[in-house]
Amino acid sequence: MLVDPAQHQFTEPTNWVRDACDAEPITEVGQIFGMHMFHQDAPGGHYRIDNKVIAFDADRAVGWQPGQIQDGTWGSGGWWWRYDLAPREDGTEVTLTYDWTDVAPPVRENFGGFPVVPPEFLDESLAALDRHIVRPAS
């Protein structure tokens, strides 16, 4: 599910992540996948994010750095998301990491500070992921 951008909307507790810009699955580091997003503080609410895959180990880890393509060049603000998966007898343990340590001060100020989401958001995201796996949305 985590390598299918079309399902990423089910990995977070709000309606921030909308849908994938294309249907290609994540298959390798360096790949860029686009997502339609919505945030009330964005001009017009709707925007696109172009995520660059920074970690990929099939069935073990997937991570990406959000950014945007402008004039054919991808650029990032410096934060990243990563899911690590560990098999267990009763299923899979999932660890979600959100790291903003490489965000430059001007970008931090532009976003009103970091982290953009509180720590509880990560727990809620993992719960949303679990709900979708147990009872997939139709």
The 10s digit of each residue's pLDDT in 103-115 is: 888 888 877 767 7
Q: pLDDT (tens digit, 9 = 90+) per residue, 43-96?
A: 888 989 999 999 999 999 999 999 999 999 999 989 999 999 999 998 899 999
Pairing of strands 67-70, 46-57: unpaired
Pairing of strands 91-99, 80-88: antiparallel
Helix, strand, coil in percent for the chain, rounding step 5: 20, 40, 40
Amino acid 104: pLDDT:
86
CATH classification code of 5-134: 3.30.530.20
How is the chain split into domains, by residue range? Answer: 5-134
* Residue 114, token pair as written in the block: 């970091």
Across 9-33, average pLDDT: 91
Q: What DSSP element (H or E) covers 121? A: helix 119-134
Q: Please state the pTM of the whole predicted model.
A: 0.89
Percent of the chain predicted with pLDDT > 90: 63
Percent of the chain predicted with pLDDT > 70: 97
Q: Which residue has the tokens 């970690």?
A: 55
Q: Which residue has the higher pLDDT, 34 or 77?
A: 34
d(CA 133, CA 113): 33
Q: Which of 73, 74, 126, 75 is nearest to 98 (CA)?
A: 126
Amino acid 111: pLDDT:
73
pLDDT(21) > 60? yes
The DSSP letter of residue 65 is E
